[in-house]
């Protein structure tokens, strides 16, 4: 895939989806309403390829990229479910989680800290990335039961219940809830939620700000750089994204 000309991931993120300065983004649960088809990527891939490489992509390359994007889109459903008032109520609860974590009120494996992103596991937690003794897909392992805190009642009441009511998931489906708390400029590298750990669908809700999901990116580090995604998916505050 052609390079983008960016040397800093923050520059690329700003150009693709400007976030509100000073605002962070958080993830939670999900819900249901009328489905919307994910929009097409907001840039001309052929033109960008010509600018970067000086040559036109072959018909085969274009067809391959289009097929990849079609396959990704076929497994995604987006819904607008949470109102601004509901988001504000949930965001206040997330802020409370952050405050409790800073005071050391959670179990050790409930909180996972990284630059510009903190992760909070509830119900179940698992090892990944640099925590693994052996690297690679399939090596992730759940922590022993009881080593992370239980799912807070407000998550059941304000998020999961709405998912069930709108038939996004069946009653009793959720036994793990994770909050990803991103600071401005924060992100997570391309990954697949471990198939041997997670049942599908993966359901997420975006809070605090608009953001984006990018599929098919390749990362390089020191400095961090990223290729163009196969699919760029805007994610609005309060929207639900269902990944199958």
**For residue 184, what pLDDT is reported?**
84
Q: Looking at residue 4, what is its pLDDT?
A: 42
pLDDT of residue 202: 93
> What is the pLDDT tens value at each position of the chain, 244 positions in all?
333 444 444 454 455 444 334 445 554 443 333 333 434 444 444 444 444 545 566 788 888 888 989 999 999 999 999 999 999 999 999 999 999 999 999 999 999 998 889 999 999 998 876 555 666 566 788 889 999 999 999 999 999 999 999 999 999 999 999 999 998 888 888 888 888 888 899 999 999 999 999 998 888 878 878 888 999 999 999 999 999 8
> How many Å apart are CA 108 and CA 112, to the nearest integer?
8
Closest CA to 155 of 182, 176, 170: 176
Q: Alpha-carbon distance 73 to 38, whole Å?
A: 7
The residue length of the chain stands at 244
End-to-end CA, the chain: 25
Residue 156: CB partners within 8 Å, gap ≥ 6? none
Q: Which of 6, 27, 13 is nearest to 240 (CA)?
A: 27
Q: DSSP 3-state assignment of 54?
A: coil
Give the pairing of strands 117-122 and 177-182: antiparallel
- Pair 238, 207: CB distance under 8 Å: yes
CATH superfamily for domain 74-208+237-243:
Alpha-ketoglutarate-dependent dioxygenase AlkB-like (2.60.120.590)
Distance of CA 43 to the CA centre of its chain: 21
Tell me what pLDDT residue 193 has.
Answer: 85
pLDDT of residue 130: 59
* Percentages (nearest 5) of helix, strand, coil residues in the chain: 30, 20, 50
The pLDDT of residue 49: 46
pLDDT of 137 reads 62
Residues designated catalytic: 126
Give, to the nearest 10 degrees, the angle between helix 59-74 and helix 45-53: 130
**What pLDDT, on a 0 to 100 scale, did the predictor assign at position 42?**
41
> Where are the alpha helices (H) located in 54-142, listed in sequence order?
59-74, 84-102
β-bridge partners, 68: none
What is the pLDDT at residue 54? 52
Residue-level pLDDT at 26: 52
pLDDT of residue 29: 40
Do residues 237 and 23 touch, judged by C-beta distance below 8 A? no
Can you point out the beta strands (E) in 159-243? 177-182, 202-207, 211-215, 219-220, 225-226, 231-235, 239-243
């Amino acid at each position: 895939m052609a390079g983008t000309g960016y040397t800093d991931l923050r520059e690329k993120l700003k150009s693709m989806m400007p976030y509100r300065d000073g605002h962070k983004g958080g993830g939670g649960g999900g819900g249901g309403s009328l489905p919307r088809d994910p929009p097409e990527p907001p840039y001309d891939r052929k033109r960008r390829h010509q600018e970067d490489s000086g040559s036109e992509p072959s018909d085969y390359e274009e067809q391959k990229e289009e097929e990849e994007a079609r396959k990704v889109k076929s497994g995604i459903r987006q819904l607008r479910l949470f109102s601004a008032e509901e988001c504000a109520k949930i965001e206040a609860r997330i802020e409370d989680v952050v405050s409790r974590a800073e005071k050391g009120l959670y179990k050790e494996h409930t909180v996972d800290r990284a630059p510009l992103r903190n992760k909070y596991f509830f119900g179940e937690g698992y090892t990944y990335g640099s925590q693994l003794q052996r690297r690679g897909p399939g090596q992730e392992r759940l922590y022993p039961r009881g080593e992370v805190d239980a799912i807070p009642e407000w998550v059941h009441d304000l998020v999961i219940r709405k998912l069930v009511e709108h038939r996004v998931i069946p009653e009793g489906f959720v036994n793990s809830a994770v909050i990803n708390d991103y600071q401005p400029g924060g992100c997570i590298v391309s990954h697949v939620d471990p198939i041997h750990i997670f049942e599908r669908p993966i359901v997420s809700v975006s809070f605090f700000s608009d953001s984006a999901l990018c599929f098919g990116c390749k990362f390089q580090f020191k400095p961090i750089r990223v290729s163009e995604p196969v699919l760029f998916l805007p994610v609005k505050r309060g929207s639900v994204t269902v990944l199958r």
